[in-house]
Structure formats: C-alpha cells, structure tokens
Chains A and B, each alone.
Chain A
Amino acid sequence: MTKIKILLAASIALAPLGAETTVIRNATIMTVTKGTLKGSIVVRDGKIAEVGEKVMEPADAKIIDAGGQYVIPGIIDCHSHIAVDGSVNEGSVSVSSMVDIKDVINPEDIAIYRALAGGVTTANILHGSANAIGGQTLVLKMRWGKDAQGMIFEGALPGIKFALGENPKRAGNPQGGRGATTVEARYPATRMGIEDTIREAFNEAKAYKAEWDAYNAKVAGGEHLIPPRKDLKLEPLKEVLEGKRYIHAHCYRADEILMLMRVADDFGFKIRTFQHVLEGYKVAKEIAAHGAGASTFSDWWAFKVEALDAIPYNAAIMQKYGVVVSMNSDDAELMRHLNTEAAKAMRYGGVSETEALAMVTLNPAKQLGIDNRVGSIETGKDADLVIYDKYPLSDFAKVEKVLIDGNLYFDRDQDVTGRAARQAEKQKLLDKEKQNQPRQQPQRRPGA
C-alpha cells in the first residue's frame, strides 16, 4: 500500500464528518427501493438529505458532476475474510467461539482499498469454516485510512460463524478420523458429529446462561456473591440464545441446512444467514419459514463433492420462495466485482434489475440487520454511494467514486494520476537500498 493513498485517505478522514454538503448532479440514480431516476443527491452530515430530479442545491455545496454516470447504494459483501491479521481460522478446536475477528482487524490491508475500488462500502468479516462453531465476526465499513475502531460499523449486531459439512469434519482429520496413529484426530469426523458438537455446545451454553441468570437474580435481590467464572467460549453462545448475536452458517447441502434449523428450533434460536447454501433451492420453503437469509455464490461450485449439486438459478429460486438472498464473495478478488455477480441472477433466473442490485445492497443489509442505515438510496440513510461510469450491472462498468458517510474514500482519477508518483517513490527507496548494500559487510547475527 502506498503512502500517498494513506495520506489521501487520512486527509479525507480528518475532515470533519460531513461538515460540508455535497451534491451529486445529473446522475442516473438506482435507488433500489424507490426506482431509478435521473437527478441529484444531496449529502449532508454524512447522510442522504435529498434525492430527486430537482433538488435544493445549497450555495456552498461541493458539486460532483456525474453526467452520464450511474449512482447505486454502496455494495455490501455478506461474506468476506479481508482485513484480518493472522489466520482466519482458529482450527485447533471444534468450538472456537472464544476467538473474535474484532481482535485482529488490520485496517491497512490493501484488500480494503481494492474492495472500495470495486464499490464495496460494507463487509461482513467472518471467521473461517474449520469449526462446527467458529469465531465471532463483525461488520466493517471500508473506511480506508481509519484505524481498526474507526472501521467498525457502529451499532451493527456482531455475529458468529458456524460451519457444516466437509470443512469442519475434515479439519484436523486428515484421514477421515482414522489418522489417530499419526495425529490426534479432532472430533468430529462426520456430519453426525457436527450436529452433536453444536448440540453439546448449546447444552453447555444453556447451563451457563442459567448459572448467570440465577446469579444476577440473587444479586438483584441484594445478595453478595462471587460471580460465576466468565467463559469466553460460552459468552457468545449465550448471546445467541438471548438474540444478541447473529449466526452466519457455512453450508452446502440441503440435509445439513435442515439439520441446523432443527437444532436451532430445539434450542430456541434463529439462524440469521446460511452462507454459500448451494443446495438452498431444494429447501427454499423451509429456509423462508425459518426466517433465515441466504448468501450465495452466483456460479461458483464443484470445487468439492458437497458443492456439486449446484445450479445458477439458486439465488432466483430462493428469492421466489421469499428468502432474502444476497450474493457474496468469500474472496478478496471476487469482492471487487460483485456488481456483475448480481447481474448473473438476471441472466439465470430472470430477476429484475432492481432485485439483482438488491442482492448486493439492500438484501445483505437486511441480513446483517443494518438496512435502517444502508442498502438503498433514501433520505436519512448513510451516504454510502458508488458512482459508476456506465450501467453498473455490466462487465464494462468501472467505479469512478465511492463515498462512505458522505466522505470520498475512492476516486479513480486520483488513483490513476497518483500511480506514477507512487512508483517513483518506490523506485527511490529501492535505489537507496541498493546503493547502501555494497557498503554493508556481510554480517552474522548470532541468535538473531
């Protein structure tokens, strides 16, 4: 990543949030919730103040002329692993709910800037899928240049990753559970075992919750007691039982999807989203009845046996049955063109332009419980906006500008014009290093 980019972003970040008013003029505005219109957007105090064919332009407003260009709400990726320091998996145990992505956010991961350049303004940063119950997750805004705390989507409910099927049963079981002679196998090694692992964890969590509830009741009654031991593994599961934390469950097959919903019903919690959910089209009715969302791939499958029975119509079919559907990336590269992922649902399944766009904006916002703030272009919502040079549901569209909270975080022109300077700066450092090298005698660093 480059200094210039950081300086640029830092100077933007330093500007008082939305202190100035910005007007995006002459654009084709795809609002997602209120149709498409030609007009202007007024941004004030980081929020969308007005949208319409004719708006009141304040005299001191900063004008962005978007003539011939398109504006859509900031893209939201419901499944990403960028901006994480170290491994995204705590793979040693089958229940790793004690770990938290929040502890390892890397706000200087260049993938953030690149996602921004692809129109992404918000992403659900997930733990990996090596465990039946994985780590805690959170929602970030791609505020490039801010520190870790500054990237966190304020007020968004945190989540936890679950994973079903091959990943959690194979992780730590190189020979399908028969590897115990060379390495201590990690339970579980089967799909049955995964269900059991989740049930056992929630049995524990229920007992833990009961212990704390009893303690809190007694303390409220005036008793002085030593509190129970705080268990970081069970705290997030207790929060799930209390409805304070969303479950994002990695899955592929219909049977495991049904299994998890039965477990959830037994323990009285909800699955917020099924992730990948390639066989979701087979159980769309059941998913809709449970009230879960589905966050899937457009056309990425067959990378393993459990991901074989997939069809490109998955998103459209699930949507038809009333499931809130989003398209995710699960990948730093795919994350940069989610607009075309959405477009594929138009080609396969014939969803409307607005419905397709909603799959990377409003729908993931709903899935993450942040649709009161983001996901569409409406008065009062956060001014998270993407300006494309062409019709955005097309391979040929390029992102021109990205605003988050009304602040400019990506500007294609600035990026392109700055490239030569960044390259020169890099070359200068390389030359300097080279120059210094021959003077250095070969040094031995014992114990280094």
Chain B
Amino acid sequence: MAVRNARIVTVSGPVIDQGTVVLRHGLIEAVGANVPVPPDAMVVDGEGLTVYPGLIDGLSTWGLPGAAPAAPTATAGRGGRGQTTVTTTAPATPAATSTRARGPEDRPATTSWLKAADEISPTDRRIETARSAGFTTAVTFPTSGIFAGQGAVIDLLSAQKPGEMVVASPAGQYISLTRGGGFGGGVGGSFPGSLMGVIAYVRQIYLDAEHYKLVKEAYARDPRGMTRPEYDRALEGVLESKQILLPANRLVEIDRMLRFAAELKQRAILYGAREGYRPEAADLLKKAGAPVLVSLHWPEAPRDANPEDVDSLRTLETRDKAPSAPALLQKAGVQFAFYSDGLDQPRDLQRAVKKAIDAGLSRADAVRALTLSPAEIYGVADRLGSIETGKIANLVVTKGELFDDQPRVQFIFVDGRKYTPAAETPAAGGRGPVAEGPGVDQ
C-alpha cells in the first residue's frame, strides 16, 4: 500500500512537502519525496492530505474496559480545634469487614503482578473512538489500587486476538496515591487510609522487595539448610517493573514525587502536571531529568459550584494557565508527552491539544508530544512515533492540519491496516454510527 503526493510530517526528520509513504506487511517500507510506488501497491492519492505518525496516548485505559478511570484526588478535611475530638463515623461501606488490611504486610490495594497485556479486550468500544481521533497506539495501564499493575504499549486494532495488539510489555508500574472509599484518615478502615500512609506503604514495599531479592538469591545459590523464602506476588510484580508512574499535579507534589523516586532508586515518569506552568516545576523536572505525562484533561471550574464560594487565586490561576504548561516544559527542555486522562471523544481530545497550542506550544511540538516523545519515554522509539523506514506502519492521514478547529481525519493506518474514522456521536456517548464501517482494507 502506498500514500503518494501527500505532505508528510515525519516528526523525526523534516516535513516532506510532497512525498510518498510505502507500507508493507504492517511496516513502513519506504518514505521520501522521490520514493517510487511499487507496481503491486494499492495507492491512496494523498493530494491535499497530510500524513502524521499515529498518535500515542501516553497513559491510558483504552483496551481495558473494566479499568476505572484514575481515582479522584480525595483530600480529607483537616480539623482545627476538632482535632482533639475524634468524631465517630458510621461505616461507609458495609463490605469493610472482611478485607480490612492491618498493615503493609497485608499488601493492601496491590495488584502489581497484573499485566495490561494479559487483560486487553479488543472489543473495548473506546478503541474505535480513539482511533477516529487519530490515535493508533495507547500505553494502557490497570489503574485501580496503589500498585495497580503493569502497562503495555498496544496498537488500537480491531483485532481478533488481544495478543496481536501488544507492541511492548511490560511498560512500567502504575502507582496511585489516593485511597478511594473508606473513612477520613482511614479511621476504622483499611490500611493505608491517608496520603502519608500510602507513601509509607510504597516505601515499605520497596524495602521488602530489596530484601526479598537478597533472600531469594541466597536461597537459589545454596538452599541447603536455609528456610525457604515465601513467594510474594506483590514483590515479584514490583521487581519486574523497570519504571514507575507517579502522580504529581501540584508543584509541591512534583517536588515530593521526584524526591520519593530518588529515594526509592526508581526511574519514574510523573503524570498529571497541572501546575507544570509554574517555572519552578520545569526547573525541578529538568534537574531530575524525569519525563512527565501532561494530562489533556485541563482543570475547569466545577459546574454546580456554589456561587458564593470563590476559588483561591492559585486555583483560578491554575485553571487559567494549566494549558500553558506544555509550552513551558518544551522551552525548559523537559521530556513530556500528553495523555488522555479520561477524554476519549475525538472532538474533546483535539480541543484539548488546541488549548495547549493556543497557549504557546508549537504545532510541531504538540505532534511530537503525541508521537515520538511518548515512544521515547517508554523506550519504543525504535518501532513507533515517527515515519521512518522499518517502523510500524501507524499513520494518521488528515485533510488540513491536526488540532485545527475542524480537523478531518481521512484514514488511520494501524499496523498497516487502513481504517476510516467513525462519525462522532453528538451526545449519547459510546460508539457512534460508523460511516464506512470499521473497514479493514488490507
């Protein structure tokens, strides 16, 4: 298959004003201004069209339909004088009885061994919607729990077998620091019930993992006369994760998580970055050399807020300036990528990126933050993220430029298979009426 006479945004190299991309067996066979179209190729005329590398969602749950979107940030209220009197709370969930964790040893909210690659569901309806927005790839993670599990880089195919979709696995361990449900401060609930409790738990897990490894290695060397170490799947999952994803929205959290990652001696990718617009944040990230995933779910004023409540200056400022974070991070030389953070409608995603562009990010850098940058962050830039010979044939072909107010995605190629976008549903959500069917032309 070949797309000819198209404008080609390779991302890794200069833009080719008029050129040809040849795809074969799911890979890019050739790309350039003067590349001949093979005689056996099915030709797509690219006159007036632009070809981009397929977009990558840097942190996603696409393909894992059961996965809850990341838990909301629940900050328990802090009592003033009331601190000395503990108000007794009625049980919030009747189910709290049997599964109550009493300490780190119970490995609460931990499924570190879980691999997204093993849980992929090709029938997730969001796959098609995302693809229609130009996304060909997602780095998808289990997201419930403190150690939620290990991600996978997946291609957004309409696949028969989930295994066809997996590009790379595992992609790192997803860590969240929020505790859903339970009581304020976890009184009477399950350990850990507070932010500091979760942090202590994560710290203890890494200490345990280090110790576990030592004991296991010693036992493997010479088991005679040594008590057999107990198999611990929580620690196995942590030990096989080469990098961790840590949440950090505010500047304070960015500082805290960078220090925490250094203490744990883990390569960390931060996600969130709502206050990435503050210059101090970029400085910290640059100094630590840590990559960051910027949420495309920009903060908004709550819809049903009490009109009497006026937000703090910081909150107002954050809502105003959050979309300028990417431009600032780019200028500071911080490695960053975008992620969908619950958005999955093409229009919402396009708009969100456009906001960052309006706030100073160049179009080219915006494209990079959804293609080559996430590929680099997850170590798959050798196969994804740009239009180069030998890489996976993931492309998005548009009329006009990506992230315009009215972008028109014409075709999407995933693993060389051609798809046409589904028409977007106006309101009802879920899967929209498919214009030309999720047709596989190859």
Interface residues of A (CB under 8 A from B): 1-3, 81, 84-93, 96, 98-101, 103-104, 106-108, 110, 127-130, 135, 147-149, 166-167, 170-174, 182-186, 226-227, 229-233, 250, 276, 300, 303-304, 307, 330-334, 422, 425-426, 429-430, 432-433, 437, 443-448
Chain A residues within 8 Å of B185, by CB = 87-91, 128, 130
Residue pair B196, A101 in contact (C-beta under 8 Å): yes
Given that A92-B191, A172-B187 are contacting pairs, would A103 and B200 also be in contact in the complex, using a CB cutoff of 8 Å?
yes
Closest B residue, CB atoms, query A110? B312
Chain A residues within 8 Å of B89, by CB = 174
Among the 9-residue stretches B19-27, B42-50, B166-174, B314-322, the one with 4 or more Cβ atoms under 8 Å from chain A is B314-322
Given that A103-B199, A182-B94, A446-B429 are contacting pairs, would A303 and B85 also be in contact in the complex, using a CB cutoff of 8 Å?
yes
Chain A residues within 8 Å of B348, by CB = 443, 445
Can you pick out 14 interface pairs between chain A and chain B where the beta carbons lie within 8 Å of each other?
A81-B78, A106-B252, A108-B252, A128-B185, A129-B84, A166-B86, A174-B88, A229-B208, A229-B211, A303-B81, A303-B85, A304-B85, A429-B313, A446-B344
- Identify which of residues 219-259 in chain B touch chain A, using a CB-to-CB cut-off of 8 Å: 250-252, 255-256, 259
Q: C-beta contact mask, B292-316 vs A, less than 8 Å → 1, else 0?
A: 0000010001000000001011101
| A85→B252 CA distance, assembly (Å) | 10
Chain B residues within 8 Å of A231, by CB = 204
- Which one of A85, A87, A330, A445 has the greatest number of beta carbons of chain B within 10 Å? A87
Q: C-beta contact mask, B43-64 vs A, less than 8 Å → 1, else 0?
A: 0000000000000000001000
> B149 near A: Cβ within 8 Å?
no
| A91→B184 CA distance, assembly (Å) | 8
Chain A residues within 8 Å of B208, by CB = 229
Chain A residues within 8 Å of B196, by CB = 86-87, 90, 99-101, 103-104, 127, 135
> B39 near A: Cβ within 8 Å?
no
| A147→B184 CA distance, assembly (Å) | 27
| A429→B314 CA distance, assembly (Å) | 10
Closest B residue, CB atoms, query A127? B196
Residue pair B200, A91 in contact (C-beta under 8 Å): no
Chain B residues within 8 Å of A425, by CB = 313
Q: C-beta contact mask, B188-200 vs A, less than 8 Å → 1, else 0?
A: 1111111111011
Residue pair A429, B320 in contact (C-beta under 8 Å): yes
> Per a CB cutoff under 8 Å, which of B85, B186, B310, B320 touches A167?
B85
Residue pair A444, B427 in contact (C-beta under 8 Å): yes
| A2→B103 CA distance, assembly (Å) | 40
Q: How far is the CB of B287 from chain A (nearest CB, A)?
A: 12
Interface size on B, residues (CB 8 A): 78
Residue pair B76, A87 in contact (C-beta under 8 Å): yes
| A343→B86 CA distance, assembly (Å) | 29
Given that A93-B103, A130-B185, A173-B188 are contacting pairs, would A330 and B83 also be in contact in the complex, using a CB cutoff of 8 Å?
yes
Residue pair B75, A85 in contact (C-beta under 8 Å): yes
| A129→B87 CA distance, assembly (Å) | 12
Residue pair B183, A91 in contact (C-beta under 8 Å): yes
> B96 near A: Cβ within 8 Å?
yes
Residue pair A331, B252 in contact (C-beta under 8 Å): no
What 5 A-B pairs are tightest by C-beta distance, nearest first?
A86-B195, A91-B187, A172-B188, A87-B185, A89-B185
Closest A residue, CB atoms, query B186? A92
| A432→B320 CA distance, assembly (Å) | 9
> Per a CB cutoff under 8 Å, which of B101, B188, B203, B297 touches A91?
B188
Chain B residues within 8 Å of A447, by CB = 61, 69, 126, 342-344
> B71 near A: Cβ within 8 Å?
no
Residue pair B343, A232 in contact (C-beta under 8 Å): no
Q: How far is the CB of B358 from chain A (nearest CB, A)?
A: 12
> B433 near A: Cβ within 8 Å?
no
Closest A residue, CB atoms, query B108? A92
Q: How far is the CB of A180 from chain B (nearest CB, A)?
A: 9
> B102 near A: Cβ within 8 Å?
yes
Given that A128-B185, A183-B188 are contacting pairs, would A332 and B80 also be in contact in the complex, using a CB cutoff of 8 Å?
yes
- Which one of B84, B317, B342 has the greatest number of beta carbons of chain A within 10 Å? B84
| A266→B60 CA distance, assembly (Å) | 55
Residue pair B102, A331 in contact (C-beta under 8 Å): no
Residue pair B187, A92 in contact (C-beta under 8 Å): yes
Q: C-beta contact mask, B145-167 vs A, less than 8 Å → 1, else 0?
A: 00000000000000000000000
Residue pair B88, A170 in contact (C-beta under 8 Å): yes
Residue pair B214, A226 in contact (C-beta under 8 Å): yes
> Per a CB cutoff under 8 Å, which of A99, A333, A443 touches B80?
A333
Residue pair A92, B84 in contact (C-beta under 8 Å): no
Residue pair B197, A1 in contact (C-beta under 8 Å): no
- Which one of A81, A104, A135, A185 has the greatest number of beta carbons of chain B within 10 Å? A104
Q: How far is the CB of A113 from chain B (nearest CB, A)?
A: 12
> Per a CB cutoff under 8 Å, which of B97, B103, B186, B252 touches A107?
B252
> Per a CB cutoff under 8 Å, which of A91, A183, A331 touches B97?
A183
Closest A residue, CB atoms, query B100? A184
Closest A residue, CB atoms, query B251? A108
Residue pair A174, B188 in contact (C-beta under 8 Å): yes
Chain A residues within 8 Å of B251, by CB = 108
Residue pair B187, A88 in contact (C-beta under 8 Å): no
Residue pair A226, B215 in contact (C-beta under 8 Å): yes
> Per a CB cutoff under 8 Å, which of B80, B90, B203, B313 touches A331?
B80
Residue pair B193, A91 in contact (C-beta under 8 Å): yes
Chain A residues within 8 Å of B211, by CB = 226-227, 229-230
Residue pair A148, B255 in contact (C-beta under 8 Å): yes
Residue pair A90, B197 in contact (C-beta under 8 Å): yes
Residue pair A171, B78 in contact (C-beta under 8 Å): no
Q: How far is the CB of B71 from chain A (nearest CB, A)?
A: 13
New A-B contacts (4) at CB < 8 Å, excluding given A334-B81, A429-B313, A433-B301: A100-B199, A232-B204, A430-B316, A444-B345
Chain A residues within 8 Å of B312, by CB = 1, 110
Q: How far is the CB of B297 from chain A (nearest CB, A)?
A: 6
Residue pair A147, B255 in contact (C-beta under 8 Å): yes
Given that A1-B312, A184-B100, A448-B69 are contacting pairs, would A129 and B194 also be in contact in the complex, using a CB cutoff of 8 Å?
no
Closest A residue, CB atoms, query B342? A448
| A186→B61 CA distance, assembly (Å) | 36
| A107→B79 CA distance, assembly (Å) | 18
Residue pair A93, B427 in contact (C-beta under 8 Å): no
> Per a CB cutoff under 8 Å, which of B101, B103, B190, B195 touches A85?
B195
Residue pair B194, A99 in contact (C-beta under 8 Å): yes
